[in-house]
Chains A and B, each alone.
Chain A
Amino acid sequence: MKSMYKYAFSLLLVLGSFLGHAQTTKSKDSIGTAVATASTVKKDSVKPKTERYGLRLGIDAFKLSRTFFEKEYRGLELVGDFKLTRKHYIAAELGNENKTVQDDHLNFTTKGTYLKAGFDYNMYENWLGMHNMLYVGMRYGISSFSQTLNSYTVYNAHPYFGEAAVTPEGTKYEGLSAQWIEVVAGIKAEVLNNLYVGFSFRINNIISNKVPDNFDNLYIPGFGRTYGGNVGAGFNYTISYFLPLYKSTIKPKEKKKN
């Protein structure tokens, strides 16, 4: 429970610092935009809107920091999205996790790789020259992993014989897999030219889960813990870089100006 508070608090901190970023960016941008708009108005009453299209690649800083600060966790998640239309993005996350969980009666290690693919829909109406995102989206997640049962206790409600409670094991269950659907909501803000920070909150629901004989998938890489039922929650904090590939404007004549 204590660790849960720590977890929640550190996240709020991260979130708070991000909000600070977002605001400064916005004000800076809005001034720039205001100037740009003013200069445009002089020449043309029609506001030209340039849309940049390209690939955004990044990393989940939250998993990375947990890798450093949590002893029993190693994780890496690469994120990417490609702008398909003005509001639609193809988005994906590719990751790998290695997590050891120590419970009252079990100690196990889950290792595996996952891929989440889907789309994001940008709900935010950007001012001219801004490329921020307030988005919702969906993902289909697949994970391939193994579970190692490191040790366990046999639960005995009526202890009489003083048997060794903990049985050291080492059984590895391989070839496990799971699939799930994720609903995503998040923000991405351009803090420096082409550099984005963002966070997303996810609610996921298991569709299929291949569990080992005589054990369970208590943790699924990419999905998280499963013992809260089929519905889980996730979070990521991303730092990403946008590679502009091409631009398109509503008025092709305005292209030269940019």
Chain B
Amino acid sequence: MKKILLLLVLAFSFSGCEKDDICDASTPTTPRLVIECYDNANATLTLKNLTSLKAIATGMGTEAVAFNPSLPITDPSRYLYTGSKLYLPLRTDATTTQYALTLNSGVAGSENTDIITINYAHHEVYVSRACGFKTLFDLDPTTPIVQTEPATPDGAWIQNITVIKPNLESENEVHVQIRF
């Protein structure tokens, strides 16, 4: 009888243990728009690196997307992206997000800005208790991305935009290809 009681108490004390409920980083949550960049000069698909790209969304003033969040806020490199795969966050409370993408940002004379407007629908999907909900996006089937010039036109650097996966589900996929 005493043994059983002891077992009960033990079993009971263990039932009080609880794992920490932190949203695991590997869990797919709200995805960003994944853009892969290719060389326009090459007929076959060849990845091409963007150089010092700065992305500022309309309405965010001068606050650019932090591509290197580990760098200090004062470091301009924090906001510059070099590479062929660009991740852009989309607004989860609107159906349009507009970005000014400046290539060679900070390099006098070779800066070039293109404006892209991304049109989409969004819906919220339950993930888990630890992560809550995530927002998934569906790019507009007729005009998913519109490319325009800034107020002082400097010519387009993006030559071609192709949507290859209109429904954004995770960041482990490429949604848009651009050529430049």
The interface of chain A, by Cβ under 8 A from chain B, is: 1, 4-5, 7-8, 11-12, 15, 19, 103-106, 124, 134, 152-161, 163-164, 167, 185, 187, 201, 203, 214-216, 218, 227-228, 233, 235
The interface of chain B, by Cβ under 8 A from chain A, is: 1, 4-5, 8-9, 11-13, 15-19, 21, 23, 25, 29-30, 32, 57, 60, 65-66, 87, 89, 91-93, 124-135
Known: A164-B93, A201-B11. A154 touches B30 (CB 8 A): yes
> Which of A1, A154, A159, A218 contacts B133 (CB under 8 A)?
A154
Known: A157-B30, A163-B93, A227-B21. A201 touches B87 (CB 8 A): no
- Cα–Cα distance between A171 and B5 once the two chains are bound (Å): 44
Most chain A C-beta atoms within 10 Å of own C-beta, residue among B18, B126, B128, B134: B126
CB distance from A191 to the nearest CB of B (A): 17
> Which of B25, B124, B133 contacts A157 (CB under 8 A)?
B25
> Which of B4, B89, B127 contacts A158 (CB under 8 A)?
B89
Q: Are A201 and B60 in contact (CB under 8 A)?
A: no
Can you add 17 more A-B contacts, CB < 8 Å, to A105-B133, A218-B129?
A: A1-B18, A8-B13, A8-B16, A12-B9, A105-B130, A105-B132, A155-B23, A155-B132, A155-B133, A157-B29, A160-B66, A161-B89, A161-B91, A163-B93, A216-B126, A216-B129, A228-B18
- Cα–Cα distance between A23 and B91 once the two chains are bound (Å): 66
Q: Which chain B residues lie closer than 8 Å to A1 at the CB level? A: 18
CB distance from A118 to the nearest CB of B (A): 19
Q: Are A155 and B129 in contact (CB under 8 A)?
A: no
Known: A154-B135, A215-B126. A160 touches B30 (CB 8 A): no
- Cα–Cα distance between A8 and B124 once the two chains are bound (Å): 37
CB distance from A76 to the nearest CB of B (A): 22
CB distance from B129 to the nearest CB of A (A): 5
> Which of A124, A155, A228 contacts B30 (CB under 8 A)?
A155
The 3 closest A-B pairs by CB, nearest first: A105-B132, A233-B15, A8-B16
Query: Nearest CB to that of A161 among chain B residues?
Result: B91
Q: Are B8 and A155 in contact (CB under 8 A)?
A: no
Q: Which chain B residues lie closer than 8 Å to A185 at the CB level? A: 4, 8
Query: Nearest CB to that of A153 among chain B residues?
Result: B132
Known: A103-B129, A227-B129. A154 touches B21 (CB 8 A): no
Q: Are B125 and A214 in contact (CB under 8 A)?
A: yes
Q: Are B93 and A15 in contact (CB under 8 A)?
A: no
Q: Are B4 and A155 in contact (CB under 8 A)?
A: no
Q: List 25 A-B contacts (CB under 8 A).
A: A1-B18, A5-B16, A11-B12, A105-B129, A105-B130, A105-B132, A105-B133, A106-B132, A152-B133, A153-B132, A154-B132, A157-B25, A158-B30, A158-B89, A160-B57, A160-B66, A161-B57, A161-B89, A167-B124, A201-B8, A201-B12, A216-B128, A216-B129, A227-B21, A227-B129
